[in-house]
A and B are shown apart, each in its own frame.
Chain A
C-alpha cells in the first residue's frame, strides 16, 4: 500500500469513526423519546420526499431565493457522485474510478458546470447574510454563534467548490483525458495557462487532497451545526406526520380516562405518566428530528403574526430551544441521572408568554421548507401547563369552566342558545313569511330525520354574529333545505379547549357530541365556523364515527353551481369587497376558491389584500387568543384590519366568527367603522338575494 493510500485510509476511517460516534450519540437521544407514530405508506412517503425535499417545492414558494437554494441542492446531489468517486480513488489508489461508466463525460461535465454555479450562489448567500442583512436572519435567538455557524458552513462550501474548480482546471491543464470539463477548459483558456507544465499534476493532487479533507471535516461538522439538514432534510420529509395540518395528535391516556369518567367506570388503578411537555424528554421523536433539521432560516418567524406585530413568539426559537435543551440535558438523561436543574424547556427556555401567544394559524408550518410543525410542540407545552398544573391564563380557565358548566365559551345559559332565532322573517316575492328554525329534538320526536344538522357554535350568543346565523338560516329556508339545529342540546365542539391544551375537556366534548350525532342518526353537518369545521373534519374521526361536515362557503358554492342560488336581475354594480381568508378554512383546510366564487357569483368584485390565500395573515383570534387579554403587544387584529382597509374596499368579507369579531374590533380601533363593515359571506348572499 502506498503512503498516500494509507494516509487516505486513516483519514477515511477517522471520518467514519467520527460520524459513527455522532450517530450513536443522537440515537441515544432518540431512544429516550417516545415515537410519534408508526411509519406506514412507504410509497406515499417516497413520493412526498421526492416532491418536497428533492423537488424543493416548499422552498420554491419564494421563487428567487428558492431557486438559488434548489440549484445548490441539486448541484450537491450531482457533486456527491464525484465525491464518491474520489473516495473510491483514495481507497483503491486508482484515478477517476468511475471513468469506465458510459455517462462519465456527461457526469463530469455537469459537475464541472455546477461547481462554479454553486460557488457563485454561496457568495451571494454570504453577501445576503453579511452585507444585505436580511431581517429574518436576525432575532434574539440568533446569537453570534448562530451567525458564525452559518458563515463557517458557507465558507466551507466555498472552499469545497474552489478546490473542485482547481482540481478540474489543473486536471485539464495537465492533459487529463478522462471525462469532460467545459468550464475548466474555458477557464484554462481565459487564464491562458501554458500547454503542459510539470507543476499541474502536483497542483491537481494538492487540490484533490484539500478538497477531500474538507469533505471529511465538513461531514463531521454538519451534525453539530445548524446545517444538519444536509443529512436530515430527506429523512424528516420522508417521516411526514400521517395527519393533516389542522389535526393535533390525540392523547390515548386522556381519552381512556375520560371514557371511563363518562361511563361512570372506575379509573385504571395506576395514573398515567406526565401529560404534555415539561422538558426535552417529553417531546416525541418526530419533534426532536424537526428540531435537529431546523436550519434557523427564519421563514416561520418572518410570517408569524405574533412576531410581526411585536409579540413575544418566534416559532424558530421554539425549535431551536428543543435542540439546545437536548444538548444541555441529553447526556445526563442518557446516564439516567438528570436532576432538576431549574432550566426546563417549558418555562425557562420557552417562557409562558411565548407559549400562550401562539394563534395556531399554521403560517409557520406553511412556510417551513422542511415541513416542520412548530404548533405541535407549542401545544405539547400548553398541554403540560394545563393538564398537569391547571396553569392556563385565567381567561382561559374561565372559558373552561363555562364549557364544563354550561357548554358554551361564554357564561350563558343553554336556554338562550336559540335567542337568535326569535322573530325571524323570510322575504319572498314581496311577502314576509315568519321563519321557524327547526330543532333536532322536536323533529326527532315527530319521527323526522333532517338531511343536515346546522351546527351554530357558541357564536350563537354573540350579538353581532347572530345576524350571520340569521342570514344563513334564511338562505336555508329560501332553498327549502331540510335541516335542524340542536338548540339547547348543543355544547362546545371543544376546539378551543384542544388548541389551548385542555385535552381532557376536548375529549369530553367530543365524546358527548359524537354520542349526540349517533343518537339522532346525523349524516351531514353544516357549519359557518371554520374552527368547528376543522375539528369535526380532521380530529373527531379519531374518536368515533363522524358525519360528513360541510362549511357554509362550500355549501353556498354548491348551491350556486347547481343553479339554486342565482344572482337576481339588476343586483349588479355593487362596490368592491375584500375577502379575509380564515386560517382554519383556507391555509389549513385548503378552501380558497369557494368563498371567492360565491362572492363573484353574487356580483361582487374582490380586491385582494397583499397577503391573501395561503399567505393570509391571521386575524389574531385563533388558538384561544380571542379570549386572552394581551399584556405583551401583538395587536394582530389591527394589523390585519389596516391591510384590509388599504384595499379601499368598504366591505370586508370573511367566513368565521372569530375573524368577524377580531376584524370588527380592528376597524373600530382604526376609527373606520363609519365607512367600513365586516360581513360574513352568508350575509352578502342573503342580502343580494333580498331575502
Chain B
C-alpha cells in the first residue's frame, strides 16, 4: 500500500507577512515551512508505515511549486518520506494546484492520499477535495484519526458532541485536520543527512491559468488604544462608557 501526502509550502507561522502599498503580500524573504496540517498528515502516514509494517510500504510527498520550495520537500524527506515529487509549476489558486496534482496521481495512483484541511497561508480549504473529484475516488473530509485494517481504512470524524467512524475501502482521499497525529515529527540529524543524499523528482507541468483572481489583500485595522482604569477608580467606567465611548446612556 502506498500513501501520498499532498504538501503545501507556507510562510513560517511566526512571520508577520507585510503587504506592499498595492496590497501584494511580500513573500520573497519569508522562510517557508511545511503547512502545519500537511505536516501532521505526513507524520501520521509515517506512523502507519511503522505501525502496520508490510501493509503500508511507501510514503511519498507531492508538491506543486517552484524550485524555491525544495527545502520544504527536503524536510519532508528528513522526516522519513521515501520520495518527494515536485510538480514544477507555481499554481495561483487551489483549482490549478489540484489540476496539476491530480494529473500526476492519475498516472501514479496511490491507495491512500492525505491532504491537510487547509493551508495556513490562504486558508482556502479546497485543494484536497478537488483532487479527489478529479480522480474520481472517495473523499472523506475533516478526518481526525486514521487506521489501516487490511484493505479498508477506518476514519474518525469529530462531530458536535459525538464521533463518527467510517470504514472505507481504498483508494481514498482523506482531508485531515488537527488530531490526526499528536505532534509533528521532528527530523533527526540522520534523517536530514539521508534527505540530503536523496534526489527530489521534478516533473515539468505546463503553466495553467488560475480560475480565481484575487483583486487585493488588506490588513485588518489595528487595535484601538486601550484605556486602563485603576481598580480603585472602577466607578469611572460607567461615566466613560456613557460620555467617551457613547455605548450606554443613562436616561
Residues of A within 8 A of B (CB): 254, 257, 261, 267, 269, 271-272, 275, 386-392, 394, 397-398, 400-402, 405-406, 411-413, 415, 502-504
Contacts of B192 in A (CB 8 A): 261, 504
| Bound-state Cα–Cα, A391 to B186, Å | 8
Are B190 and A405 within 8 A (Cβ)?
A: no
Are B14 and A387 within 8 A (Cβ)?
A: no
Sorted nearest first, the 6 A-B pairs with minimum C-beta distance are A390-B188, A387-B189, A397-B186, A504-B189, A406-B14, A413-B14
**Chain A residue at minimum C-beta to C-beta distance from B80:** A390
Are B183 and A397 within 8 A (Cβ)?
A: yes
- B191 interface residue (CB < 8 Å to A): yes
**Chain A residue at minimum C-beta to C-beta distance from B190:** A388
Residue in contact with B16 in the complex, picked from A267, A405, A413, CB distance below 8 Å? A413
Residue in contact with B12 in the complex, picked from A269, A405, A502, CB distance below 8 Å? A405
What would be 6 A-B contacts, judged by CB atoms less than 8 Å apart?
A: A271-B194, A387-B190, A394-B183, A402-B14, A411-B13, A413-B14
| Bound-state Cα–Cα, A398 to B183, Å | 9
Rounded to whole Å, the gap between the CB of B180 and the closest CB of chain A is 16
B203-234 vs A, CB cutoff 8 Å, 1 = contact: the mask equals: 00000000000000000000000000000000
**Chain A residue at minimum C-beta to C-beta distance from B33:** A405
Main secondary structure of the interface of A (DSSP, over half): helix
Are A261 and B15 within 8 A (Cβ)?
A: no
Are B15 and A401 within 8 A (Cβ)?
A: no
| Bound-state Cα–Cα, A271 to B189, Å | 11
| Bound-state Cα–Cα, A413 to B15, Å | 6
**Chain A residue at minimum C-beta to C-beta distance from B183:** A394
Rounded to whole Å, the gap between the CB of B182 and the closest CB of chain A is 8
**Chain B residue at minimum C-beta to C-beta distance from A397:** B186
Cβ < 8 Å to A, chain B residues 148-188:
182-188
**Chain B residue at minimum C-beta to C-beta distance from A261:** B196
Contacts of B183 in A (CB 8 A): 394, 397-398
**Chain B residue at minimum C-beta to C-beta distance from A504:** B189
Are A401 and B189 within 8 A (Cβ)?
A: no
| Bound-state Cα–Cα, A413 to B12, Å | 9
Say yes or no: A390-B33 contact (C-beta < 8 A), given A271-B197, A413-B16. Answer: no
Are B197 and A267 within 8 A (Cβ)?
A: yes
Contacts of A390 in B (CB 8 A): 185-188, 191
Residue in contact with A275 in the complex, picked from B33, B187, B190, CB distance below 8 Å? B190
Contacts of B187 in A (CB 8 A): 390
Contacts of A257 in B (CB 8 A): 189, 193, 196
Say yes or no: A405-B188 contact (C-beta < 8 A), given A261-B196, A413-B16. Answer: no
Contacts of B31 in A (CB 8 A): 405
Residues of B within 8 A of A (CB): 12-16, 31, 33, 182-194, 196-197
| Bound-state Cα–Cα, A504 to B12, Å | 21
| Bound-state Cα–Cα, A261 to B16, Å | 27
Are A267 and B190 within 8 A (Cβ)?
A: no
| Bound-state Cα–Cα, A261 to B196, Å | 8
| Bound-state Cα–Cα, A580 to B50, Å | 48
Give the interface centre of B14, B185, B197 by most chain A CB atoms within 10 Å: B14
Are A386 and B12 within 8 A (Cβ)?
A: no
| Bound-state Cα–Cα, A409 to B91, Å | 34
Rounded to whole Å, the gap between the CB of B103 and the closest CB of chain A is 31
Contacts of A411 in B (CB 8 A): 13-14
Say yes or no: A267-B185 contact (C-beta < 8 A), given A390-B191, A413-B16. Answer: no
**Chain A residue at minimum C-beta to C-beta distance from B78:** A390
| Bound-state Cα–Cα, A158 to B31, Å | 71
Rounded to whole Å, the gap between the CB of A103 and the closest CB of chain B is 61
Contacts of B12 in A (CB 8 A): 405-406
Contacts of B186 in A (CB 8 A): 390, 392, 397, 400-401
Rounded to whole Å, the gap between the CB of B47 and the closest CB of chain A is 13
Residue in contact with A412 in the complex, picked from B14, B185, B194, B196, CB distance below 8 Å? B14
Contacts of A388 in B (CB 8 A): 188-190
Contacts of B193 in A (CB 8 A): 257, 267, 271-272
| Bound-state Cα–Cα, A386 to B190, Å | 9
Rounded to whole Å, the gap between the CB of B16 and the closest CB of chain A is 6
Known: A386-B188, A394-B182; 13 extra A-B contacts, CB below 8 A, are: A254-B189, A257-B189, A261-B196, A269-B197, A271-B193, A275-B190, A390-B185, A391-B188, A397-B183, A401-B186, A405-B12, A405-B13, A413-B15
Rounded to whole Å, the gap between the CB of A51 and the closest CB of chain B is 39
Are A405 and B197 within 8 A (Cβ)?
A: no
Contacts of A504 in B (CB 8 A): 189, 192
**Chain A residue at minimum C-beta to C-beta distance from B79:** A390
| Bound-state Cα–Cα, A391 to B50, Å | 15
Contacts of A502 in B (CB 8 A): 189
Rounded to whole Å, the gap between the CB of A263 and the closest CB of chain B is 12
Give the interface centre of B185, B187, B190 by most chain A CB atoms within 10 Å: B190
Rounded to whole Å, the gap between the CB of A456 and the closest CB of chain B is 18
Contacts of A398 in B (CB 8 A): 183
| Bound-state Cα–Cα, A438 to B249, Å | 50
| Bound-state Cα–Cα, A415 to B26, Å | 15
Contacts of B15 in A (CB 8 A): 406, 413
| Bound-state Cα–Cα, A389 to B189, Å | 8
Rounded to whole Å, the gap between the CB of A489 and the closest CB of chain B is 13
| Bound-state Cα–Cα, A406 to B182, Å | 22
Contacts of A261 in B (CB 8 A): 192, 196
**Chain A residue at minimum C-beta to C-beta distance from B12:** A405
Say yes or no: A267-B189 contact (C-beta < 8 A), given A406-B14, A413-B15, A415-B16. Answer: no
Rounded to whole Å, the gap between the CB of B234 and the closest CB of chain A is 22
Contacts of A413 in B (CB 8 A): 14-16
| Bound-state Cα–Cα, A389 to B14, Å | 27
Contacts of B13 in A (CB 8 A): 405, 411
Give the interface centre of A392, A397, A503 by most chain B CB atoms within 10 Å: A397
Are B189 and A503 within 8 A (Cβ)?
A: yes
Contacts of A401 in B (CB 8 A): 184, 186
Contacts of A254 in B (CB 8 A): 189
Contacts of B197 in A (CB 8 A): 267, 269, 271
Contacts of B189 in A (CB 8 A): 254, 257, 275, 386-388, 502-504
Contacts of B185 in A (CB 8 A): 390
| Bound-state Cα–Cα, A261 to B78, Å | 13
Are A267 and B196 within 8 A (Cβ)?
A: yes
| Bound-state Cα–Cα, A564 to B197, Å | 57
| Bound-state Cα–Cα, A503 to B196, Å | 17
Rounded to whole Å, the gap between the CB of B71 and the closest CB of chain A is 11
Contacts of B188 in A (CB 8 A): 386-391
Rounded to whole Å, the gap between the CB of B15 and the closest CB of chain A is 6
Give the interface centre of B14, B33, B182, B189 by most chain A CB atoms within 10 Å: B189
| Bound-state Cα–Cα, A401 to B39, Å | 13
